Each structure stands twice: as C-alpha cells, then as structure tokens.
Structure 1
Amino acid sequence: MRIIISVIFLLISFTVIAQEPGKKLQETAKSMLMQGDFDNAVAILETAAKQAPADISIQKDLAYACYLKRDFGKAIQIGKILTERADADEQVFQILGLSYKATASYKEGIKLYKTALKKFPNSTIIYNELGELLAMDNAAGEAIEQWEKGIKADPNYSNNYYNACIYYSKTANWIRVALYGEIFVNLESFTERTTDVKKAVLNAWQKLFLPAIIPQQLKNNPSVFEKNALQILEKIVPTVTVGFQPETSTSIRSKWVLDWFKTNTEFPFTLFNQQQYFIREGLFEAYNQWLFVEPVNQDAFNVWKNTHPKEASAFESYQKTRLFKMPVGQYYFSK
C-alpha cells in the first residue's frame, strides 16, 4: 500500500510540475537565496521566467533576488514592469520600493508608494515604507502621518509603532512614546529593537514625572484619550518625591491603571486591559521589571528573578503562551 501511495504522490508531483512551468526551478532558486548564492539564484530564476513569463511569483522572486544581489538597476527594471500588471500585489510595490530606497531614489519611491496606496488603501506595510522614505527625504512631518495611518489600519504591525516611537522621542511627545513604545515591546518582545524601545519608554515615563512637563504636554493639543491619561498622571506626580524609577514603577503604574478604569470606561484599550490583568494576577511587578529594569540593569533584574522565582516563572510562561493583539478600532490618537 505504501508503494502505491508513493507512486501516486510522485505522479501527482510530476503532473503539478508539468502543469506549472518554472516552479521546480523557482524552488531551487529559493533554496539558493537562503544560502546566499544570489548569482545562481538570479540565473535560475531568469530561466524559470522564460518558461513561465506570466507567472508573477517567479518575476517577483527574480526582482527580489536582483535586489539581494545588489543589482538594483535590474531589480527596478523588473519591478516597474510588474507594478503595471493588474495582478500586482503589495509585495511587488514593496520590492521595487526597497530598490529605490537602496539607491536613495526617495522621490521615485514616494511616488510609487502613493500609487500603491490608491490600490491598497489599508496596507500598513506600504504606510510604513512610505513613512520611512519620507523621513529619509527630510519630510518627517509627513512621515509620521503615514505611520499613524498604518497604526490605525493595522494595529498589530510593529514597524509603524517603532518608527512613530522614534519620531515622538525626537519631538518630545512623551505620552505617545510611552504608549506606542509599550505596545511595540508587547508585539515584538524578543528582538534587538525591543531593548532600545524599552529604554525609550522608561525615558518617556521619567520625563513625564519632571516638574511642569505634563502641563506642557497638555498644551500640545493631545487627543481626548491622551488628555485623560495625562490628567490622571498629573495627580500622581506630586505624590512621588524621587521621580519615576524602574524599581518603584509598579506602585506608580498600578495607581495609574486603577484610576484610569475608574473614570475612562468609554475608551476600551487592550494595553490597559493587559496591565489590569497583570495587577489582578499578581504579575504586574514581573512585567514592570521586564519592561523597565531589564534594559538598564540586567544584574538587578536577575537578582529580582532569583528572589521572586514564582512570579518570574509565571510571567515567562505568560509571554510564551499568550499572544498580544491590539484590535482594530482602538485608535484614539486623532486630535
């Protein structure tokens, strides 16, 4: 029976290959790309493209292989043709955009992505890429508009939060750094960027506890949601004599979260719901240690874990088994 099944499988495989010219070569080329053999991958994909000139997936792989090979001229040539096709998807525009970015052709890339958004108005990836090109073209004010649109369109794509966090750190919008940065590290918890954003979040909280900072933030015309968050903090700040410190962050933020839920039921916000859950389950200290202490004092974080093994283990288990997701519709940052 196994022999019969194997023969049938092989016949099906040969049939698929026969019906889809170029596919076998495409798979071979993908393996070479993963191995870093860009020259041979390009050569094989060129052959596959001749066998199946209408197959856009092969053409996309060829354009991307040329990009990886740093043959940007050829990648752009192929990409331009692909973007004119009716079946061009977001990836087609992104691959061409990467080549424009690599050659510092920012104006061309910006024009490309604006065209892409007419076809894909909810593409969070395109919003992010357009924002990055605008920033590179010294149009940071326009760039943040794109990252905000990307966050609104898909609140679970981390790159828009990352870029927005960097922008708001430079413009001293500390409440958005605090909120966007914390959402980012929950979406992307274990990458090299996570540590940098954790430090930015800590810096934002420390800035918010400096004298006169919150009144200044309130003058910057925040959204109603942000205004409410700042006003709660404004009442807490005078009660903290040493400012915001990583080691005492749990008690300060616990009060902030509890006060929020007393007065702001019209703004359901998953980040705050998670914080409330941590408080209820006894995990909030572990979370704040991970968020604020670990990025600036690994030794102190290790000491805390060793003296609180139960809480540390429970929080690590939570991180491994729960996926943080922000639902669409919880965007409260429009002024």
Structure 2
Amino acid sequence: MIVMKQILLCVLLISTTATFTHAQDTTAASSTYENGKAFLRKGDLDNAIMLFTRASQQQPNNVNILKDLTYAYYMRKDYRNGLETGKKLIERPDADDDCYQLLGLCYKATAAYSDCEKLYKKGLARFPKSGILYSETGDLLAVQHKLNDAIKYWEKGIEIDPNNGNNYLNAAHYYDQQGNLLWAVLYGEIFINIESLTDRTASTKVMLADDYKQLFSSPALLNGYVKQGTPFTRAIAGTFATYSNLANDGVTPDALNKIRTKFTQDWTAQYAKQYPFRLFDHFQQLVQQNTFEAYNQWIFNSATNESAYNTWVSAHTDSNSEFVKLQRSRVFKIPAGQYYAH
C-alpha cells in the first residue's frame, strides 16, 4: 500500500509539473505573439516576423499567429516566404476565408493572376458565403481590366454577405465610372454607413456629392431609370424625380436634404413594405429623431466644404450631437434578403 501511494504521488507530481510547464510555454508564446503584434502595428516588420516565427514554433496549432506572419511577410514584400506560409495556412482544417485572402494578396503582388484565380475558386468552394473572397475575386479581375466580370462578383458578394463593405465600395465606384449614378449613390451610401470613419469614407462622400449633383442637374437621368429600370429602381427614381424641382436653384446640401426628406416620407408610405431596404429605414429613423439634416450635412458638406460644414455644426450643436451619438453607438447591419437585382 505504501509503495502504491508513492507511485501515485510520483504520477501526480509528474502530471502537475507537465501541466505547469505547458502553462509556462503557452504564456511565453502568448507574450511573444502579443509583442510581435505590437511591432507589426508600429511598422517594425523585421521584429514582428522574428517574434511571430518564434511564437509559431511555440504554438504550432495557433492559426492566428501564422495569419499575422503571412501578413507581415506581405507587408515587407517578402512574397516568397509569404506564399510559403500562406500555402500552409489554407491546408489547415481550421483555415478560414481570411487565410485565402492573405495568400491571394501575395499572388496578386507577384502578378501570379492565374494561380490567384484558382486559389479564390478553391476558397469559394470551401466558403461559398464569403463576401471577402467575392470582393477579392472582383479585385483580381479588375486588376486585369475585366471590369464587366468583376462587377458580377461584387454584386454576388453584396447578395450573399450584405454586411461586407468592400463589395459596396467597389460596386459604387464601378457604377460611378459607368455612369450608373443611381446605383453608385445607393451602394456608396451603404458603404459609408458600414464604414463611417476612414479615408475611404471621405473619398466616397465626395463621389456621392458629385453624383447627386449630376442626378438632379439633369432630369433625363432619373427619367431614364423610371423608363428602363427594374421595379425597385423605378420606384426609387420616380420618387426622387417627384421632388427634383427643389434643386432648381442649385443642388446644394440644403436642397438635397429637402429632397431626401420628402423622398423618405413618400418611400415609407408607399414602398417600405413592398421593398424592405435598410438604408431607407435608416433615413426614416433619422427623420423621426430630427437628425436627418445633420446626417446629410455630414455626407454632402463635411468632405467637400469643411468651412461650411463647421459653420452649420456650430449653429446646430444639439442636432449634430444627437446624430454623432447615434452614429457612434450603433452598428449598421443589413438583414439578409434585401438584395435587389438591377
């Protein structure tokens, strides 16, 4: 009995020691990884790569370490190692669509477009609802000047993953370039609500202001949508056209606010149940909260006429504060099933 107790004690000691050692190793690896991320954020890629490499040896099953290592290689333009690490990533059973995106970045950087296209097809077969991979495939085709093919992937990405902002951004700029201004402003405005505080937001607001000016400066543009658009598109264009006379003295932020307020009231009464659309529901919420003008100023003045915008904000501090509070407190989410072909 004494011998048995001694054996059990030895087993427990070994087990406890092993557990403690494993915990130490895990803690050390986590510390190394966090330090690597700190270097990556500062742009010190050499130190980031060194620490990510060490951490991946300490925790070979941590997929996030390999993802950051691949990204660091990409940022350092070390595409050979980026491709090598990225290929290992996508073969893992716990790989996600980000892994395919990271490897794709390295392929695109080396102009290995055929390999990249095969990669994305493989990724979409594995992750058929990945808005990221639809966006990246569209980008790949756009780089090769295949824009008419690219838009099909961006549209599909919007349909199957409606809260991925990249597809809206790419589609908005595509339609802007093609002269399809109504869908450029719809997708552009959805994008700036999904991603509201970046440089991409500022440039997209400039595009929105320019495209709205063109839409209401030429009645023929809206009438074209009324005559030839899909039912959803006709409903939007027809409602806007009803109030285009409010811009007769100029397509200003004030005029656009009046037009869009009238549009929101009519859309809510006539079409909201038939065509649920998160963007227009957002308009209605802002109208009800008396912050719609602040929202329109944020879109149409803040990026194009900072002085005028600051003057407006100074004169409407309460309304603007309420809008800013709402904007920062909510996440703009689009429900599934609100995609309309056009």
Q: TM-score, normalised by structure 2?
A: 0.85
Identify which of 317, 322, 332 aligns with 1:324: 332
The CA deviation at 1:86 is 3.2
Equivalences for residues 223-242 of structure 1 within 5 A: 223-238=230-245, 240-242=247-249
- Among the aligned pairs, what percent are the same residue? 39
The CA deviation at 1:24 is 5.0
Q: Is the 8 A contact 1:21 1:52 kept in 2?
A: no
1:111 aligns to 2:102 (yes or no)? no
Equivalences for residues 123-138 of structure 1 within 5 A: 123-138=130-145
Q: Mean alpha-carbon deviation: is it higher for 20-29 or for 92-101?
A: 20-29
Which residue number corresponds to residue 8 of structure 2? none
Equivalences for residues 61-72 of structure 1 within 5 A: 61-72=68-79
Amino acid at match of 2:322: A
* Aligned mates of 1:322, 1:27 — CA distance in 2: 29
Identify which of 277, 280, 296 aligns with 2:285: 277
Amino acid at match of 1:166: H
Which residue number corresponds to residue 306 of structure 1? 314
* Aligned mates of 2:64, 2:197 — CA distance in 1: 31
Which residue number corresponds to residue 102 of structure 1? 109
Distance 1:12 1:250, change over 3 A: farther
Please, what is the CA RMSD of the aligned residues?
2.5
Distance 1:204 1:87, change over 3 A: same
Which residue number corresponds to residue 182 of structure 1? 189
Q: Is the 8 A contact 2:226 2:235 kept in 1?
A: no
The CA deviation at 1:127 is 1.1
Equivalences for residues 1-335 of structure 1 within 5 A: 14-18=21-25, 23=30, 25-50=32-57, 53=60, 55-209=62-216, 210-218=218-226, 221-238=228-245, 240-264=247-271, 265-332=273-340, 334-335=341-342
Q: Is the 8 A contact 2:120 2:137 kept in 1?
A: yes
Q: Cα deviations across residues 250-306 of structure 1 (Å, max 9, x unaligned)? A: 211111111112221211212111211222222121111111122221111111122
Q: In structure 2, the residue corresponding to 1:200 is in which secondary structure? A: helix
Amino acid at match of 1:122: K
The CA deviation at 1:13 is 7.3
The CA deviation at 1:322 is 2.6
Q: Mean alpha-carbon deviation: is it higher for 307-316 or for 292-301?
A: 307-316
Distance 1:79 1:320, change over 3 A: closer
Q: In structure 2, the residue corresponding to 1:133 is in which secondary structure? A: helix
Distance 1:47 1:250, change over 3 A: closer
Amino acid at match of 1:300: A
Distance 1:34 1:304, change over 3 A: closer
Q: Which has the larger radius of gyration?
A: 2
The CA deviation at 1:105 is 2.3
Q: Mean alpha-carbon deviation: is it higher for 113-122 or for 289-298?
A: 289-298
The CA deviation at 1:313 is 2.1
Q: In structure 2, the residue corresponding to 1:282 is in which secondary structure? A: coil
Distance 1:86 1:169, change over 3 A: same
The CA deviation at 1:85 is 3.4
Distance 1:184 1:49, change over 3 A: closer
Distance 1:243 1:111, change over 3 A: farther
Amino acid at match of 2:175: Y
* Aligned mates of 1:55, 1:240 — CA distance in 2: 58
The CA deviation at 1:244 is 2.7
Q: Is the 8 A contact 1:106 1:136 kept in 2?
A: no
Amino acid at match of 1:237: S
* Aligned mates of 2:89, 2:26 — CA distance in 1: 23
Q: Is the 8 A contact 2:176 2:184 kept in 1?
A: yes
Q: Is the 8 A contact 1:25 1:44 kept in 2?
A: yes
Q: Is the 8 A contact 2:63 2:89 kept in 1?
A: yes
Q: Mean alpha-carbon deviation: is it higher for 306-315 or for 249-258?
A: 306-315
Q: Is the 8 A contact 2:246 2:258 kept in 1?
A: no
Q: In structure 2, the residue corresponding to 1:122 is in which secondary structure? A: coil
Q: Mean alpha-carbon deviation: is it higher for 58-67 or for 128-137?
A: 58-67
Q: Is the 8 A contact 2:246 2:259 kept in 1?
A: no
Q: Gaps (5+ residues) in structure 2?
A: 1-17
Q: In structure 2, the residue corresponding to 1:306 is in which secondary structure? A: helix
Distance 1:47 1:107, change over 3 A: same
* Aligned mates of 1:196, 1:252 — CA distance in 2: 23
Q: In structure 1, the residue corresponding to 2:219 is in which secondary structure? A: coil
